[in-house]
Chains A and B, each alone.
Chain A
Amino acid sequence: GAVVSQHPSWVICKSGTSVKIECRSLDFQATTMFWYRQFPKQSLMLMATSNEGSKATYEQGVEKDKFLINHASLTLSTLTVTSAHPEDSSFYICSAHGGGSTNSPLHFGNGTRLTVT
């Protein structure tokens, strides 16, 4: 089945530094990938839609200059959390439609747990 790989699985960084998270589709091409954030005991929150070869679409309230998204190829999207602060500590997850169709299920990466100290 479709596999989405995310790296790193966890990261601890100091306040003010930037962190890059990679999301790869391993056995299929994904022109679109999605980035979510999830705080403890809360539901997934869509942050942005990453589009290959064009600008990402951000959800309301998500700062595009803080959460930089690059989708340079059909199998890789990156999310960079710039100038991270403790309130950015969260579980970040990416996903893509495995079958190439928007009606096919979403497959999720294994998530990245970010802790900003």
Chain B
Amino acid sequence: RKEVEQDPGPFNVPEGATVAFNCTYSNSASQSFFWYRQDCRKEPKLLMSVYSSGNEDGRFTAQLNRASQYISLLIRDSKLSDSATYLCVVNEGYNNNDMRFGAGTRLTVKP
């Protein structure tokens, strides 16, 4: 079983749609959680950290479910510019090399 699993997609949605991605992790002791966005041929960029109580940043909402060991990302009112690959990143522990990456979920928003 992979340490961090994401549905690879692709998710193809129309502009204005709401879309949600899940990411499951295997290590229950994982410490911190993040969503990154990666555009084609570019480096990943931090979209948002995921807090225990859930957090929102504009059209983006992140949730953490420790009991079921998953995090989610909800995008409301999708824009064409949201088209990218969304990476789930989990820090399993306190050591520097404990970051685990999901394979990414590809989103395409169409007009």
Which A residue's beta carbon lies closest to that of B85? A43
CA distance A102 to B95 in the complex (A): 7
For the complex formed, measure the closest distance between the CB of A24 and the CB atoms of chain B, giving whole angstroms.
14
**Are B96 and A102 in contact (CB-based, < 8 A)?**
yes
What DSSP secondary structure best describes chain A's contact surface? strand
The stretch that binds A, out of B12-20, B40-48, B74-82, is B40-48
Q: Which of A97, A107, A110 contacts B96 (CB 8 A)?
A: A97
Given contacts A102-B91, A105-B49, contact A111 B99 (CB under 8 A): no
Range class of the B interface residue count: 20 to 34
Return the CB mask of A38-78 against B: 1 if under 8 Å, else 0. Answer: 00001110100100000001000000000000000000000
The stretch that binds A, out of B56-64, B65-73, B101-109, is B101-109
Instruction: List 8 additional contacts besides A34-B97, A57-B97, A109-B43; criterion CB under 8 Å.
Output: A44-B101, A46-B99, A91-B41, A102-B94, A103-B32, A103-B94, A105-B49, A106-B46
Range class of the A interface residue count: 20 to 34
Residue B23 interfacial (CB < 8 Å): no
CA distance A42 to B89 in the complex (A): 15
Q: Which of B3-50 contact A (CB under 8 A)?
A: 31-32, 34, 41-46, 49
Which A residue's beta carbon lies closest to that of B89? A106
**Are B103 and A108 in contact (CB-based, < 8 A)?**
no
Q: Within 8 Å CB of A102, what residues of B?
A: 31, 91, 93-96, 98
CA distance A97 to B42 in the complex (A): 19
**Are B46 and A107 in contact (CB-based, < 8 A)?**
yes
